[in-house]
Amino acid sequence: MASCASTVAVSSFGPPQETADTQSTISSLLEPAISFLEPVARAPFPAIRRLFDHLRTDARDSASLNATYPSRGLFKTAAMTNPSSDQKLTLDLSPKRVLLISADLRASLAAHGLEEVLSFFSAIAAAHIPTILSALSNLAGIDLAPLHKSQNINFRLCDYWPGTAAPESDNGCGPHTDYGTFSIIFQDEHAGLEVKAPGSSGWIPIPPGGAVLLFGWCALILSGGRIHAVKHRVRRLSGTRRLSAVLFVAPDVDVALKPVNVDNSARQFSELIKSGAVDVKWFKEVMGKRWRWREGNESLANGELDEVTQDEDIEKLVFGLGSYETRVKA
């Protein structure tokens, strides 16, 4: 399956009118929103497994790790007690948060795979972020590099641990579109990741293994809709443990989220977006509320409907209420 990984080059992404690729069913269905990547390093799944096993069973180290970032914690285990949230454990290791970990704790976690994981992510970030940004810049006709100067990135590990509060649930990760510019998802040998091709309604399973590159809301907005953002989810197979590692790349927090080149815009945006009043920091906060709810880490305020999905909320914000209403009625 991993052979798929090399069939589509980064440079083949782009709006439909600019691509003529018909190589495989999956890649032609998904273009231009997703592609497979030949990464410079393989994800260290044995180290990832050891790290999760350690944190799940060592209350002292997991508490100390979470104490480094008390507002949200780094190791999130809501799924152990919440049967309706995403049934996965996550470990969010953004470079900024890693710097907060004490030397003692870091040494303790090093014995359980932490350093291997961090070196992997650093190698992937150094090798792939500049090239992907430059390919995307060419496609969108804008220069994305100056909007990504501060390394606003996150290294996330996911453990679809079978022993969560709802062991039979297939809801590993609910449908959503990532907020940032792009995400690279590394999967172990277990299937589960599914994506929606732009304009089609069914879910398409992604073969396990390899690395998948997909784009988020910020890429869509900055490119004026020329880069598609991809909705995805993870289905869980009862009794099967699946591991994944994700590199999230977003623009700098103070970047105004509006089409950089208005004349080149392929879509209509809400007045709020066009005015440039929304920056990356605010957008992430608004969107984060719902994704933390989906992941079981935050509750919604009274009156906020839990049937409204994360993407519906954001679609209203990005495209405006009118376009949202038209689409749901259709």
Ligand X SMILES: O=C(O)CCC(=O)C(=O)O
Site residues (CB under 6 A) for ligand X?
156, 158, 173, 178, 185, 187, 193, 232, 234, 244, 246
Specify the residue, 148 or 294, whose C-beta has the smaller distance to ligand X: 294
Residue 284 interface partner, choices ligand X, Fe ion, none, CB cut-off 5-8 Å depending on type: none
Q: How far apart are CA 153 and CA 151, in angstroms?
A: 5
Does the footprint of Fe ion cover residue 295 (CB under 5 A)? no
Segment interacting with Fe ion, rule: CB under 5 A, options 29-37, 85-93, 174-182, 191-199:
174-182
Distances (CA, A) of 285 to 62, 278, 280: 25, 11, 9
Residue type, 250: A
Instruction: State which residue, 133 or 158, has the beta carbon closest to ligand X.
Output: 158
- Helix/strand/coil for 102: coil
Segment near Fe ion (CB under 5 A); pick from 93-101, 130-138, 170-178, 288-296: 170-178
178 binds Fe ion (CB under 5 A): yes
244 binds, among ligand X, Fe ion, none (CB under 5 to 8 A by kind): ligand X
Q: How far is the CB of 173 from Fe ion (least distance, A)?
A: 7
Would you give the binding string for Fe ion spanning residues 124-163, x where CB under 5 A is met? ----------------------------------------
CA distance 203 to 175: 10
Of the two residues 142 and 280, which places its CB atom closer to ligand X in the complex? 280
| Partner from Fe ion, ligand X, none contacting 234, C-beta within 5 to 8 A by type | ligand X
Q: Which residues contact 20 (CB under 8 A, 6 or more apart)?
A: none
Minimum Å gap between C-beta 176 and Fe ion is 6
Burial 121-143 (b: 16+ CB within 10 A, else e): beebbeebbeebbebbbebbebe
Per CB under 5 A, which region of 175-183, 220-228, 268-276, 289-297 contacts Fe ion?
Answer: 175-183
Comparing every residue's Cβ against Fe ion, the nearest one is: 178
User: Across the strands, what pairs with 194?
Assistant: 205, 233
| Distant-in-sequence, close-in-space partners of 5: CB < 8 Å, separation ≥ 6 | 36, 37, 38, 209, 210, 211
- Residue facing ligand X at closest CB distance: 244
- C-alpha 244/C-alpha 138 separation (Å) is 29
- The answer to whether the beta carbons of residues 170 and 237 sit under 8 Å apart is yes
Binding site for Fe ion (CB under 5 A): 178
